[in-house]
Amino acid sequence: MLNAIWIVLVLGAVLFAALSGTMGELSVAILPAAEAAIALVIKLTGAMMLFLGLVRVASEGGLLRVFVRALRPLLRRLFPEVPEEHPAMGAMLMNFAANMLGLGNAATPFGIKAIVELDKLNPQRGSATNAMALFLAINTSSIVLMAPTGTVAVRMAAGSEIPFAIWIPTLIATACSTLCAVLVCLALQRLAWFRPRPVTDDAAPAPAADDASDAPELPDTALPTGSAPPLSRWRVLLVLCGAALIVWRSGVAALSHPEGVWPFLRDVFSTHWVLPILVFALVAIGFMSRVAVYDAMIAGAREALQVALRIAPYLVAILVAVAMFRASGALDLLIGWTSPLLAWFGVPAEVLPLALLRPLSGSGAFGVMTETLQAHGPDSFIGLLASTLMGSTETTFYVLAVYLGAVGVRDSRHILPACLAGDLAGFIGAVAAAHLFFG
For every residue of 133-193, DSSP letters joined together read HHHHHHHHHT---S--HHHHHHHHHTT-S-GGGGHHHHHHHHHHHHHHHHHHHHHHTTSGG
- Give how far Cα 18 sits from Cα of 26, 263, 323, Å: 10, 50, 16
pLDDT for the residue numbered 427: 92
Residue 386 has φ and ψ, to the nearest 5°, of: -60, -40
Q: Which residues, in sequence order, are CB contacts of 128 under 8 Å at separation 6+? A: 196, 404, 409, 411, 412, 413, 415
What stretches in the chain show pLDDT beneath 70? 1-2, 102-106, 198-230, 254-255, 257-274, 307, 311, 361
Kindly state the DSSP code that residue 60 receives in the 8-state scheme: I
Task: Check whether residue 31 and residue 129 sit in a common domain.
Answer: yes
Residue 162 in domain: yes
7 Cβ contact partners less than 8 Å away, ≥ 6 residues apart: none
pLDDT of residue 433: 93
Give the chain's domain count. 2
Cα 314 to chain centroid, rounded: 17
- The parent domain of residue 262 ranges over 232-275
Which pLDDT score is estimated for 251? Answer: 73
Residue 420 and residue 378 in one domain:
yes
Whether 208 maps to a domain, the answer reads: yes
Do 428 and 373 share a structural domain? Answer: yes
Q: Is residue 220 part of a domain?
A: no
Q: How far apart are CA 149 and CA 170, in angstroms?
A: 12
Give yes or no: residues 15 and 96 share one domain.
yes
Residue 281 in any domain: the answer is no
Residues 242 and 328 in one domain: no
Residues 258 and 294 placed together within one structural domain of the fold = no
Whether residue 219 lies inside any domain: the answer is no
Closest by Cα among 365, 370, 297, 313 to 51? 297
Quote the CA–CA distance of 434 and 391 in Å, as a whole number: 13
* Same domain membership, residue 402 and residue 297: yes
pLDDT recorded at residue 103: 62
DSSP letter, residue 59: I
What are the residues facing 411 on neighbouring strands?
127
62 & 96 share domain: yes
pLDDT of residue 349: 85
Q: What is the pLDDT of residue 14?
A: 93
User: What's the pLDDT at 104?
Assistant: 58
Question: What separation in angstroms does the CA of 189 have from each of 55, 134, 415, 420?
Answer: 36, 9, 9, 15
Output the pLDDT for position 208: 41
Are 323 and 430 within one domain? yes
- Does some domain include residue 223? no
Whether residue 427 sits in one domain with residue 321: yes
What does the pLDDT read at residue 379? 92
Is the residue at 225 inside a domain? no
User: Of 85, 223, 179, 130, whose CA–CA distance to 413 is shortest?
Assistant: 130
pLDDT of the residue at 124: 85
Q: Model-level pTM? A: 0.70
Evaluate whether residue 373 is within a structural domain: yes
Q: Are residues 169 and 318 in the same domain?
A: yes
The continuous run of DSSP H or E covering 42 comes out as helix 23-58
Note whether 360 and 324 are same-domain residues. yes
